[in-house]
Structure 1
């Protein structure tokens, strides 16, 4: 999730921008390696999980605020107001950053698809399409989503009138939902990489000078 710009998509199929196939494959390899790194690499993972932690902590602050508001005393209300401000201040950027990450992933997939369809480079494609990349995201994301689902449903099933408060319900159900959403987003990244890995690097639509490929129209519309 670096702030530096992503590698651009390949030139229009109407324009042959390389002197030979070897030059095209070299540019293709550089672009696809960088796009894959930005999609599933260590910097992407660190940023993604930090945003997820921020979302969970921010909701925790909101939950504490709701619990203190139930006390109804002035010091508790004051403390609750502080936690509420902190929680909202963390929730808003966390949600925005996760949403921007989803949009960025979509752009990366489109550009990987476009570069991949220029041709075939087995040596490069085999390294980019390794299942370890998908599994590295899928396993922790699935566990996190499962924990979130168990947290939400478990509290809802165990809540009893007179012993469970609305603030507790909002806190545990909301926290579980936040964990589930972050885990689901991570799972989507893993599944997206797997689908790309089994389809794009096969070079099904080779690049031809003067040709008009369907992916270019989709890329321009997107």
Structure 2
């Protein structure tokens, strides 16, 4: 796996900014905002989130299979098969959870940088490229479908379970898959709504930009 691109630094404090003019500031702002928006809401980010969700679902499916096997095992071979499934499931589920958490922490830093760099100034000509209405809609609709499927699996399926036919292990398997689907969908919906709010408040808002202060020492790039 290739290393993730490093996050750019936040804007320098007002008292030590050294851009020679507004044009230089806007150029740096446009370059960094373009990179940040791509890292936060690019199509590849959606595919990566769903991929880790799928890996986590595979891990839970294996764990659920192990639970069902333990419920129905009557010999040592079935129990051994259940242990193998449990270990394989943990090997898939644990890394997926860890990487999703790392992604959430990275998204938090990205949002902070987007807010800081976006608030430096306003440039309607270049800011239009950061709105990404189509990409945001794809995130929102796809994530909404995942949330709906997850809630259905978590509540509707267990409510219709038949005592004696549907085992506790099977219900745990279905509800776990639904919970993973709901979590991944909720993450996607949150990202789409945050981006839309950022566009409305920062790029299209009426707040005045911070003053540009030049200090000797060379242009900050």
Q: Distance in 2 between matches of 1:13 and 1:202?
A: 22
**Is the contact made by 2:154 and 2:174 (CA closer than 8 Å) also made in structure 1?**
yes
Deviations, residues 88-115 of structure 1 (Å, cap 9, x unaligned): 1111111111111111111111111111
SS in 1 for 2:115: helix
Q: Distance in 2 between matches of 1:31 and 1:48?
A: 23
Give the drift of 1:130.
3.2
1:91 aligns with 2:66: no
- In the other structure, the counterpart of 2:189 is 187
- In the other structure, the counterpart of 2:209 is 206
1:51 aligns with 2:52: yes
Instruction: For structure 2, list consecutive stretches of 5 or more residues without a partner in the other structure.
Output: 214-221
Give the drift of 1:207.
2.1
- In the other structure, the counterpart of 1:4 is 5
Give the drift of 1:123.
1.4
Instruction: For structure 1, list consecutive stretches of 5 or more residues without a partner in the other structure.
Output: 211-222
Deviations, residues 45-96 of structure 1 (Å, cap 9, x unaligned): 2211111111111110101111111122211111111110111111111111
- In the other structure, the counterpart of 1:142 is 144
The 5-angstrom pairing of residues 171-186 of structure 1 reads 171-186=173-188
Q: Distance in 1 between matches of 2:63 and 2:90?
A: 7
What number of residue pairs does the alignment pair up?
A: 211
User: Please, what TM-score do these two structures have when normalized by structure 1?
Assistant: 0.90
Give the drift of 1:116.
0.8
Cα RMSD between the aligned structures?
1.7
User: Please, what TM-score do these two structures have when normalized by structure 2?
Assistant: 0.90
Deviations, residues 2-54 of structure 1 (Å, cap 9, x unaligned): 61211211111222221111011000000000000000113212211111111
Q: Which has the higher contact order (CA 8 A, sep 6+)?
A: 2
**Is the contact made by 2:22 and 2:212 (CA closer than 8 Å) also made in structure 1?**
no
Q: Greater shift after overlay, 18-27 or 150-159?
A: 150-159
- In the other structure, the counterpart of 1:105 is 107
Give structure 1 regions of 4+ aligned residues with deviation exceeding 6 angstroms.
none
- In the other structure, the counterpart of 2:84 is 82
